[in-house]
Amino acid sequence: MTTPHLPKVAGINPPLPAPSHTPPPSSAAPSGDPATPDPSAPADPHGPADPDGLALPAPNALVQDRLAGWISDLVTLQELTERLARTASLDAALHEVLRAGSSLVGARRGLVTLQPGQERPTTVGLGLGRADLGHIETIPHDTPARREGHEFPGPDSYGRLFDDLPPAGSRAGVAHPDIAADEGLTARHRDVAARLGYGASYALPLESEAAGRIGAAVWLYDEPAEPSGRQRHLIGLYRDYATEHLARHLELAAARDAVTTLREELLPSRLPRIAGVRLAVRHRSGPLGGGDWYDALPLPEGALGLAVGGVTGSGPSAVAAMGRLRASLRAYAVMEGEDPVAVLSDLELLLRLTEPARAATALFAYCEPAGADRTAGRGSKVVLAGAGHCPPLIIGEHRVEYVETSLSAPLGMLACWEAPSVEIEPAPGETLLFYSDGLLHRTGDTMDRAFARLRSAAASVPRAALRDPDAIVEHVLRTMLPSADDDDADEAADGSHGGEDVVLLAAHFE
């Protein structure tokens, strides 16, 4: 009897039909043959046994085990890459790479270095203190293991651990499974390994096709060992993603450094010395590169011009606009500094004509210290005007209060700006404190509470420090922002006010 043919489907081979009859039973084996199955014996779930009596796994069990291993590896890589993607700073990303790599290769300690060809490479250690890193720095180059074009392009420091890495373009790692017995390494290298207590190492270049080679990582084993082929494959896949992530952090850090350098160059390099007044300033740059600025310039007849302000926006364009605005204000202050309203009116007209899409806040004060006044018996005098900027604060032994200024709109918001000026006479020993609104915003409080907090911080200045403007601004800054020197990249990334600039400018009148 023939089996009917199934119809063919284009592109698909027809399945094999089920047999119409059972195959004939095999001939019976002689009695006592070990290969003869016992019909009464239960079926072995692990499949048939080999001649030695050991159970052999079924073919599908091997496939299932392999698939389970692949799935486990994929889940592990996904978890590690997700943790790396959540890091918001370069330092956090480097530590995460070391932790993830140590778990993948089975090591306990390690270090990673970035931009080794730069003047100041970035190096982070895992399970290694500063003293340990100092010992590693003393390892001389392993010249016997170096080959031309194969050495790691690093400085004479941590790059010594990566001498025998392959050249650029090859992302293979290098293992030293037994450092104590490796005659290709220098004696100093073996001595440092013995002192620090590691017996093997595995080095891997941080390289990808898009980013190129940006650094290298090495993991240290407590005992002689080396990663298996599966571990090398997993750490290689993780390395490809980590390199791209670290490269983005490096680009972002370089851009921030460029903006910070530009902003610092546009601000005064030093404060002037004017008889009868002493100055102090604190400037904390935000990671986003804001446009807050300050200025102090000597004027004719011993007078002094003080200014603080800021432009809208962030980044290089805001910094450039800040530089143009500050330079223009200096010119107007020299020409008509005795009238702060005229200075800000001219500045507003310039801003409206040249940069109509921007707005800015500014406060300018024309100061005549007592040492500059030739009229006997007259103290210091300050005439100031503000455009949408926070009022300055008077700090002294007998009073701590805000200067009463008229409410005015920022520059560029109205067709024609003009507001009355205010004249004050600070007593000898009092300090006039100017500040940017970034100081208030970084507290995270509402504006009313932030103003009250600033006044309380100024009132808490120790009595002995009231005649030192540098001590005053330092005390106010530390009281308002206890973590002012911490990295604010995490706060800036989520859109909070943590990335704004902070300016504190104090003028102490004698």
Q: Which residues pair with 284 in a beta bridge?
A: 502
pLDDT at site 105:
93
Q: Which residues of the chain have pLDDT under 70?
A: 1-59, 116-121, 141-164, 287-289, 371-378, 415, 483-499
- Under 8 Å between Cβ of 208 and 237: no
- Residue 238, SS3 per DSSP: helix
Render pLDDT for 234-265 as a digit per residue (tens, 0 to 9).
Answer: 999 999 999 999 999 988 888 877 777 777 77
- Under 8 Å between Cβ of 246 and 216: no
Rounded to whole angstroms, the Cα distance separating 402 from 143 reads 69
pLDDT at site 72:
87
pLDDT at site 496:
42
- The domain locations on the chain are 69-258, 267-509
What are 457's two structure tokens?
């911080």
Q: How far is CA 9 from CA 13, 15, 18, in A?
A: 7, 10, 18
Q: Which helix (H) or strand (E) holds 83?
A: helix 59-85
Rounded to whole angstroms, the Cα distance separating 117 from 284 reads 29
Query: Which residues neighbour 328 within 8 Å (Cβ) at sequence distance 6 or greater?
Result: 346, 347, 350
DSSP string, 41-62: SPPPTT-PBPTTSPBPPPHHHH
**pTM for this predicted structure:** 0.61
Rounded to whole angstroms, the Cα distance separating 26 from 29 reads 9
The CATH architecture one would assign to domain 69-258 is: 2-Layer Sandwich (3.30)
Rounded to whole angstroms, the Cα distance separating 137 from 194 reads 15
Superfamily of domain 267-509: PPM-type phosphatase domain (3.60.40.10)
Q: Which helix (H) or strand (E) holds 352?
A: helix 340-354
Render pLDDT for 92-103 as a digit per residue (tens, 0 to 9).
Answer: 999 999 999 999
pLDDT at site 122:
81
Report the 10 Å Cβ neighbour count for 377.
Answer: 6
Q: Which helix (H) or strand (E) holds 304?
A: strand 303-314
